[in-house]
């Protein structure tokens, strides 16, 4: 017996897990090539089974996703576009209350920002640490000696940070959070600018984050991680994070190889006077190279209706 359209619609799995599977092709179209779509989809489905359960036995994230599927799918699309794992410290999926009911809020975590920096290909290591009130912390950046360039003077190029109670000191031994710092070591051996944020800086960032005071907010449940995220996010302004940077590196390497292996010009070939060509192969794209727009390749009208997404991006 032929199934009618209405029967097919009635039997379609419209649960959050079912929606992830239904739109898996759309997610696959925007995922970076190094991420396996099938694995990413399974991670997204598993992320819904974390956290607290509601009165009906469903997890809070399942309830939040079902209440507004459009917002939920938009958050997953954002994670997919960046190639980050949803429901982890790369990309948080958190419930928030809107109009008295739970909805999903997607937030890129500090590990996600670090992953984007590594992926660009210029960074060898990223260091990010919170500083607590009983820690010993000092950072006086080196300055250029103007009288004898290119000499530098100053005590250090990176912060000197000693944790109270040793490397494994407890929060009680170290005290409350007072600051965060982050820097990157580049593959050429250079050190990026050191970013420092104090409590006032963090409070300003927190106030600008929607729902930061909610009991579901990572600002409440993962405070130290959000301090780290704030520092790492500011560091992104000083190091390459664009996929375009990686492509430019590969293009430059290919061009250098082509020039190096090209056969010599035939004997007797003269270059016209005045037409001497000079050029150089660039080692890297500028740090502020624009990131290409993600092309979804699917009709957004097919997605469930959604309200305007918000939250910390």
Of the CA atoms within 13 Å of residue 215, those in its CB half-sphere come to 4
Looking at the fold, whether 93 and 137 belong to one and the same domain comes out as no
> What does the chain come to in residues?
313
Average pLDDT over residues 136-164: 75
Can you give the residue range of the structural domain that contains 30? 9-108
Count up the domains in the chain and report the number: 2
139: Cα separation from own chain's centroid: 27
What single string gives the DSSP state of each residue in the chain? Answer: -PPPHHHHHHHS--SHHHHHHHTHHHHHHHS-TTS-HHHHHHHHHHHTT-S-B-TTS-BHHHHHHHH-HHHHHHHHHHHHHHT--BTSSSEEEEEEEETTEEEEEEEE-HHHHHHHHHHHS-EEEEEEEEEETTSEEE----EE-TTSTT-EESS-SS-EEE-TTSTT--HHHH-SEEEEEEEEEETTS-B-PPEEEEHHHHHHHHHTSTTTTSTTSHHHHSHHHHHHHHHHHHHGGGS---HHHHHHHHHHHHHHHHHHHSPPPPTT--PPTT--------SS--TTPPPPPP---S-GGGSPP-PPP-S--
Six-digit token string for 125? 């290591």
Whether residues 136 and 70 share a domain: the answer is: no
The answer to whether residue 18 scores a pLDDT higher than 80 is yes
Owner of token pair 């060509």 = 277
List C-alpha distances in Å: 218 to 27, 240, 302. Answer: 25, 27, 31
193 with 209, same domain?
yes
Instruction: Kindly report whether the global pTM for this prediction surpasses the value 0.75.
Output: no
Decide which of 207 and 6 is more confident.
207
Same domain, 117 and 223: yes
Same domain, 57 and 119: no
What's the confidence (pLDDT) of residue 257? 66
pLDDT at 42 over 70: yes
Closest CA to 139 of 191, 84, 210: 191
259-295 per-position pLDDT tens digit: 677 665 444 444 344 333 333 333 444 444 444 444 4
Q: So what's the pLDDT on residue 157?
A: 82
Q: Which residue has the higher pLDDT, 279 or 251?
A: 251
- In the listed set 210, 238, 266, which residue is the last one of a domain according to the structure? 238
Question: Is residue 71 assigned to a domain?
Answer: yes
Residue 260 within a domain: no
Are 37 and 127 contained in the same domain? no
Taking a C-beta distance cutoff of 8 angstroms, is the pair 298, 29 a contact?
yes
> Does 29 fall in a domain?
yes
Check pLDDT > 50 for residue 252: yes
Q: Locate tokens 């660039």: which residue?
A: 282
Which pLDDT band holds residue 2 (cuts at 50, 70, 90)?
Answer: low
Domain boundary among 108, 124, 145: 108
Kindly report the CA angle at 292 between 288 and 293, in degrees rounded to 5?
130
Does position 25 have pLDDT exceeding 80, yes or no? yes
Query: Do 118 and 224 belong together in one domain?
Result: yes
At 152, is the pLDDT very low, low, confident or very high (cuts 50, 70, 90)?
Answer: low
Least confident of 106-120, 136-150, 163-177, 194-208: 136-150
Pair 89, 131 in one domain: no
- Asked whether the bond before 309 is cis by omega within 30 degrees of 0, the reply is no
Backbone angles phi, psi at 28, to 5 degrees: -60, -30
Lowest mean per-residue pLDDT among 38-52, 211-225, 273-287, 298-312? 273-287
Local confidence band at 214 (pLDDT 50, 70, 90 cut-offs) = confident
The reply to whether 140 falls in a domain is yes
Q: Retrieve residue 279's tokens.
A: 């050029």
Asked if the structure places residue 173 within a domain, the reply is yes
228 and 154 part of one domain: yes
Domain assignment present for 266 = no
The reply to whether 176 falls in a domain is yes
Contact between 201 and 229 (Cβ < 8 Å): no
Arithmetic mean of pLDDT, 182-203 = 93
Which tokens hold the place of 171?
């929060």
pLDDT > 90? residue 181: yes
Boundary of a domain, candidates 201, 221, 238: 238
Q: Quote the percentage of the chain above a pLDDT of 70.
A: 69
- The dihedrals phi and psi of 144, each to the nearest 5 degrees, come to -75, 130
Cα distance between residue 141 and residue 193, in whole Å: 9
Same domain, yes or no: 135 and 97? no
Minimum mean pLDDT range among 18-27, 175-184, 185-194, 253-262: 253-262
116 and 104 co-located in one domain? no
Q: Are 243 and 119 in contact (CB under 8 A)?
A: yes
Averaged pLDDT of the chain: 79
Q: Answer yes or no: is 271 within a domain.
A: no
Q: What is the pLDDT of residue 5?
A: 45
Same structural domain for residues 26 and 102?
Answer: yes
């Amino acid at each position: 017996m032929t199934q009618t359209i209405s029967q097919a619609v009635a039997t379609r799995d419209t649960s959050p897990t079912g929606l992830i599977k239904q739109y898996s092709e759309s997610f696959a179209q925007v995922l970076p090539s190094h991420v396996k779509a099938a694995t990413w989809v399974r991670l997204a489905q598993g992320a819904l089974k974390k956290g607290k359960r509601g009165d009906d036995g469903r997890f809070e994230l399942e309830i939040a996703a079902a209440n507004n599927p459009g917002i939920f799918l938009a958050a997953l699309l954002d994670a997919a576009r960046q190639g980050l794992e949803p429901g982890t410290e790369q990309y948080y999926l958190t419930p928030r209350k809107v109009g008295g009911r739970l909805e999903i809020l997607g937030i890129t975590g500090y590990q996600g920002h670090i992953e984007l920096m590594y992926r660009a290909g210029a960074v060898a290591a990223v260091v990010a640490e919170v500083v607590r009130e009983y820690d010993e912390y000092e950072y006086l950046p080196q300055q250029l000696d103007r009288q004898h360039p290119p000499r530098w003077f100053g005590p250090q190029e990176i912060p000197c940070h000693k944790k109270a109670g040793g490397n494994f000191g407890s929060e009680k031994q170290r005290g409350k959070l007072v600051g965060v710092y982050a820097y990157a070591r580049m593959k050429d051996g250079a050190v990026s600018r050191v970013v420092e944020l104090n409590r006032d800086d963090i409070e300003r960032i927190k106030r600008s984050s929607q729902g930061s005071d909610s009991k579901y907010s990572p600002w409440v449940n993962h405070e130290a991680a959000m301090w780290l995220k704030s520092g790492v996010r500011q560091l992104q302004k000083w190091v390459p994070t664009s996929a375009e940077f990686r492509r430019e590196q590969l293009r430059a390497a290919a061009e250098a190889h082509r020039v190096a292996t090209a056969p010599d010009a035939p004997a007797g070939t003269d270059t016209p006077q005045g037409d001497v060509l000079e050029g150089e192969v660039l080692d890297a794209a500028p740090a502020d190279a624009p990131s290409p727009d993600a092309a979804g390749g699917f009709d957004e009208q097919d997605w469930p209706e959604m309200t305007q997404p918000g939250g910390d991006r």
